Structure 1
Amino acid sequence: MIAALFDHHGPWTEEEYLALGETHHRVELFDGSLHVTPAPTPQHQNISGELRAALRRPVREAGLRVLEGVNVRLRPDRISIPDLVVTDPIDLDDPYVDAGDVRLVCEIISPGNAATDKVLKMHYYAAAGIEWYLLVEQKTLVAQLYRLQDGHYVEHSTAGPGGVLKLTEPVHVTIRPEALLD
């Protein structure tokens, strides 16, 4: 798979990207360019797993799904791999989730990808019309929830260790950031 990344010439198409198949690498497609990041750290994955566990029951009760590390098609030739998404019911055999089915997208900010999550992906998710964006800072455990308003995200609520982040949409759930450490 890695050899295919370096042997390719010119912009990548969505079809070429999807033909790469499943991989352990985080490979995203942004307007003809591939964005490759190292595998997440164990701490990152622990936070992701704990957050998914906190969301699982309320998401199911709402008739939705919570998925980890899946392709999300934001538009043609723009496919991201968020850490978590809450979606409407979807076909689990599709190679990607359409942004129109995503109710909430979550990124866990690692020291090496802060700009990507806070700027690039925030812009792309807003442009795709995803209503809710949750950012969790891995080092400080500050969770920020944003809501789409007039085409861009506006901070809705924030909580750090000792605090509580309450979501009322797309699901009702209370998240205590320090509980995300295990």
Structure 2
Amino acid sequence: MTAAVFDHEGPWTEEEFLALGETQDRVELFDWSLHVTPGPTPRHQRISRKLGNILERAAEAANLELLEAVNVRLRPGRIPIPDLVVTTAIDLDQPNIESADVRLVCEIISPSNASTDKVLKMHYYAAAGIEWYLLVEQGTGAMRLYQRQGGHYVERATTKRGEVLELTEPVRATIRPEDLVP
């Protein structure tokens, strides 16, 4: 992938982006430019798996899908890779999930790129019409749940250690920070 990235000139098309294939790094397309971050840490992946296990049961009960680290096409030239998404029934063989099919997007905040999750992606997901956004802190498991209101998100719940997040939309789930972070 390195030669393909550094030898490339000009904006990236979606076809060129998808042709990169799977990589060790997380490569996302933001407004026709690549955004590359290192692969997730073991702590990040543990939280993702634990949260995914909780949300998967809830998604199945609501006839929805839970997917991890997939391309979500927000608009032409904008394809992030959220940590977890809850979607309607989709074609599992397509390279992208359309934002209209996403009901909840979850990001586990990495210390190295916290502003991407808290500012850039939050803005992009809201602008794309994704109703629910869940942010999880890696160090503590603290969670912030946001709901879209117009073109932005409004915080609906904050949960820290010793507390419980009760999701009622788009799925029903009970999540405790202690269940995510040892």
Give the TM-score range, shorter chain: over 0.9
Give the CA deviation at 1:24.
2.2
Q: Which residue of 1 aligns with 2:103?
A: 103
Equivalent residue number for residue 117 of structure 2: 117
How much does 1:173 deviate? 0.4
Pairing of 1:4-15 with structure 2 (within 5 A)? 4-15=4-15
Q: Is the partner of 2:74 in helix, strand or coil?
A: strand
Match of 1:49 in 2: 49
Measure, in 2, the Cα distance between the counterparts of 1:17 and 1:85. Answer: 21
TM-score w.r.t. structure 1 length? 0.98
Which consecutive segments of 4 or more residues in structure 1 shift more than 2 A?
none
Matches within 5 A, 1:62-81: 62-81=62-81
Question: Whole-Å Cα distance in 2 between the matches of residues 76 and 113 of structure 1?
Answer: 23
In 2, Cα distance between equivalents of 1:76 and 1:40? 26
1:175 correspondence with 2:168: no
CA distance in 2 between counterparts of 1:62 and 1:176 reads: 21
Distance 1:3 1:29 in 2: 17
Structure 1 stretches lacking a partner, 5+ long: none
Runs of 5+ in structure 2 lacking a partner? none
The one-letter amino acid of 1:12's match is W
Q: In structure 1, what is the equivalent of residue 21 of structure 2?
A: 21
Structure 1 CA distance for aligned equivalents of residues 64 and 24 of structure 2: 26
Partner of 1:130: 130
Please tell me the root mean square deviation across aligned C-alpha atoms, in Å: 0.8
Deviation of 1:140 after TM superposition, in Å, equals 2.5
Q: What amino acid is the match of 1:128?
A: A
Verify the 8 A CA contact 1:110 1:139 in the aligned structure 2: no
Contact 2:146 2:155 in 1 (8 A): yes
Structure-1 residue corresponding to 2:3: 3
Return the alpha-carbon distance in structure 2 between the equivalents of residues 81 and 35 of structure 1.
10
Q: What pairs up with 1:142-153 in 2 under 5 angstroms?
A: 142-153=142-153
- In 1: Cα distance, 2:141 partner to 2:61 partner: 27
CA distance in 2, matches of 1:74, 1:92: 17
Q: Map Cα deviations across residues 31-71 of structure 1 (whole Å, 9 max, x no partner).
A: 11100000000000000000000111111010000000000
Aligned residues between the structures = 182
Give the Cα separation in 1 of the matches to 2:56 and 2:11.
38
The residue number in structure 2 matching 1:156 is 156
Identity rate, percent: 69
Q: Which residue of 2 aligns with 1:32?
A: 32
Task: Describe the SS at the equivalent of 1:134.
Answer: strand
Residues in 2 aligned to 1:140 and 1:61: alpha-carbon distance in whole angstroms: 28
Look up the equivalent residue of 1:39 and give its one-letter code: G
CA distance, structure 1, for counterparts of residue 11 and residue 157 of structure 2:
39
Q: CA deviation at 1:122?
A: 0.3
TM-score, normalised by the number of residues in structure 2:
0.98
